[in-house]
Amino acid sequence: MSREELTAWLKLLSLEFSANKLRVLLEHFGDPGGVLSASAEALRAVPGVREADVAAIERVAREPVVIPEPLKTGEARLITGGDASYPRPLEVLPDLPPALFVWGELQERDRFAIGVVGTRKPSAYGRMVAERLTRDLCAAGLTIISGGALGVDTVAHRVALEAGGRTVAILGSGLGNLYPAENRALFRRIAETGGAVVSEYPWDAAPDAWRFPVRNRLIAGWGLGTLVVEAPEASGALITARLAAEYGREVFAVPGSIDNPKSKGCHALIKDGATLVESAEDILSVLKIPSEPRERTVSLPLLTETQEKLLSALDLEPRHVDALARQVGLPVHTAQAELTMLEMQGLARRMPGGAFVRVL
């Protein structure tokens, strides 16, 4: 992204329009520069754009913008919907953010993720369960997605790092205004050890209360499912679980004592059809992720470009070799040979009927 493009994006995002309004504007004018240079008459013609919006766009178009130092140096970056690293699972969202600020690294494997959420004040039981389940989910190859808050979120991020797994923190503030302050060292550790800290909000956006429920949709949409460890009846974690169900994702909940108010939310979810979780195996079986022990290596083997394409095309649902070959543009016999190589390296599994699945 050029400096000029980045400047235009920063100006447009500073308006804090809804994701849907931004999408409509971008579809109408092509890119942020087109939005900012549009005439007032053209802006008024866009459905949903108010007079106050026109005035705001004209104002930011005239004002200078300072590019944050981490964006200048590449320590952090802005990715847009057309970027190859933009998280594909979020495409399920009806209000998909057109751009995300990312500190750290997103990987293709992060589409195989699980959201882990819960109360900011977990009991000793809640902490223990969050630690055990996070460690086992990391061992199965899942990326841990959470919101960076104190409590269960912090436990999930910390244990994922300790277990050598991947974790992504999605914040309810800007990356230039990290919240909570107590977790700034944790966020830096996530970003510097291969994970990522992500925000859809302007760089210096404050952690206003309204941002967190909006942010929760990203956690809900990103993961293959959402695990609620401990949550009272009025909890942001329940918002995340409800959204996950709306997006067609799995919802998992850990039962607790009937006398513990922090278990009420989980029990309500279970009554509503969430999967009761006693171990990571309960989650892995629903997600159809094999959990049998296998020798694990510190890093993935080197793959050819063709093998990388096939690996990216593989999913947790069986895909026939013919369909995979068509998707990546290979002769079937070549795809078959390369899939066999991936199988030998422990990255793919052959299923009945000429189908393959990805191994995490």
CATH number of the CATH domain containing 49: 1.10.150.20
The reply to whether 346 falls in a domain is: yes
- Rounded CA-CA distance 333/85 in Å is 30
Half-sphere exposure of 188 (CA within 13 A, CB side): 8
Q: What is the pLDDT of residue 294?
A: 44
Residues 337 and 182: their CA atoms lie apart, in Å, by: 51
Domain-located, residue 77: no
Residue 296 pLDDT grade (very low, low, confident, very high; cuts 50, 70, 90): very low
143 and 50 both lie in a single domain: no
Whether 349 maps to a domain, the answer reads yes
Strand partners, 115: 145, 226
Q: What is the pLDDT of residues 40-79, one digit of tens each?
A: 999 999 999 999 999 999 999 999 999 999 999 999 999 9
Q: Which two tokens mark 228?
A: 């609620």
Chain center to CA of 176: 19
* DSSP for residue 347: S
Instruction: Identify which of 293-297, 307-311, 314-318 has the greatest average pLDDT.
Output: 307-311
Q: Residues 283, 311: one domain?
A: no
What's the pLDDT tens digit per position in 245-285? 999 999 999 999 888 899 999 999 999 999 999 999 999 99
Q: What is the pLDDT of residues 216-247, one digit of tens each?
A: 999 999 999 999 999 998 888 999 999 999 99
- Point out which residues pair with 114 in neighbouring strands: 144, 225
Structural domain for 140, as ranges: 88-287
Q: The tokens of 200 are what?
A: 């859809």
Whether the predicted pLDDT of 292 surpasses 70? no
